[in-house]
């Protein structure tokens, strides 16, 4: 069938409408959260690179829906939906030598959690962390951000977290102290999807993905 000017214009119009809808959905994903304990003002999309925005993507996997997969080399976290689909989130991961590997599960969850540096963190950098040994209350200045998912294995707290951040510029990089950081807006979304007991798989360099 020959391509007519009308069909070309209709196709272009449909494509533009699809892009507009996607942009509107993404803008809503990062809009204001006035009902939070510590309200969030919203994050303009031009502050988030397109490849770092939350999106539903094709993701072949044999894991059950609801599983969380952290692809450390790619700096991405996937929430498995089933039918080879997943929600993709951009994350920041631990620096070399500070990264978790293997399977874990969500042992507990917290909204606007308090934070205490681990003894290892205090030993590595006492000038930065010793003053916080007594803990820090939850809030927008807290490094755990809006939500935290605490990772366990065999009933033991691994001291690794999937959490929000007060450093959104770190997303997409390997620069955390070992935990998995997400934008506050994304960790709020993941938190409401993930119950305690959820399986978490952390993939490192050289491991198969999916």
DSSP 58-105: E----SPTT-EEEETTTTEEEEEEETTEEEEEE-BEEPTT----EEEE
User: Is 163 one of the catalytic residues?
Assistant: yes
Give CA–CA dist 90/70, Å, rounded: 10
What's the pTM value of the predicted model, to 2 decimals? 0.84
Quick check: 15 pLDDT over 50?
Answer: no
Cβ partners under 8 Å of residue 24, min gap 6 = none
Give CA–CA dist 142/176, Å, rounded: 14
Quick check: 5 pLDDT over 80?
Answer: no
Quick check: 208 pLDDT over 80?
Answer: no
Q: What integer pLDDT is reported at residue 7 of this predicted model?
A: 61
Determine the average pLDDT of the residues in 187-208. Answer: 90
Determine the average pLDDT of the residues in 100-115. Answer: 94
With cut-offs at 50, 70 and 90, classify the pLDDT of residue 98: low
Determine the average pLDDT of the residues in 84-90. Answer: 98
Backbone φ and ψ for 161, nearest 5 degrees, come out as -130, 150
Q: What integer pLDDT is reported at residue 150 of this predicted model?
A: 97
Instruction: State what percent of residues in the chain have pLDDT above 90.
Output: 65
Alpha helices in the chain (DSSP H): 5-29, 119-124, 126-129, 184-193
Mean pLDDT over each residue of the chain, to the nearest integer? 87
User: Is 179 one of the catalytic residues?
Assistant: yes
Query: Which range has the worst mean pLDDT, 4-18, 120-134, 182-196?
Result: 4-18
Q: What integer pLDDT is reported at residue 25 of this predicted model?
A: 80
Determine the average pLDDT of the residues in 112-126. Answer: 87
Q: What integer pLDDT is reported at residue 130 of this predicted model?
A: 87
Angle at 202 between CA 196 and CA 204, to 5 degrees: 175
* Options 19, 38, 159, 163, the catalytic residue: 163
């Amino acid at each position: 069938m020959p391509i007519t000017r009308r069909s070309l214009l209709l196709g272009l119009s449909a494509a533009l409408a699809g892009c507009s809808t996607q942009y509107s959905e993404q803008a809503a994903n990062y809009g204001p959260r006035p009902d939070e304990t510590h309200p969030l003002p919203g994050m303009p999309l031009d502050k988030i690179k397109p490849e770092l925005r939350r999106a539903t993507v094709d993701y072949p996997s044999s894991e059950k829906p609801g599983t969380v997969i952290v692809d450390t080399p790619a700096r991405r976290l996937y929430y498995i939906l089933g039918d080879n689909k997943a929600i993709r989130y951009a994350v920041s991961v631990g620096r070399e030598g500070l990264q978790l590997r293997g399977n874990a599960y969500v042992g507990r969850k917290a909204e606007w959690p308090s934070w205490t540096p681990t003894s290892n963190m205090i030993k590595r950098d006492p000038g930065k962390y010793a003053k916080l040994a007594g803990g820090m209350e939850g809030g927008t200045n807290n490094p755990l951000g809006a939500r935290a998912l605490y990772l366990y294995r065999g009933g033991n707290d691994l001291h690794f977290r999937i959490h929000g951040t007060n450093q959104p510029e770190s997303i997409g990089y390997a620069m955390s102290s070992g935990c998995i950081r997400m934008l506050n807006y994304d960790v709020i979304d993941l938190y409401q999807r993930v119950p305690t007991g959820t399986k978490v798989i952390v993939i490192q360099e050289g491991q198969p993905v999916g």
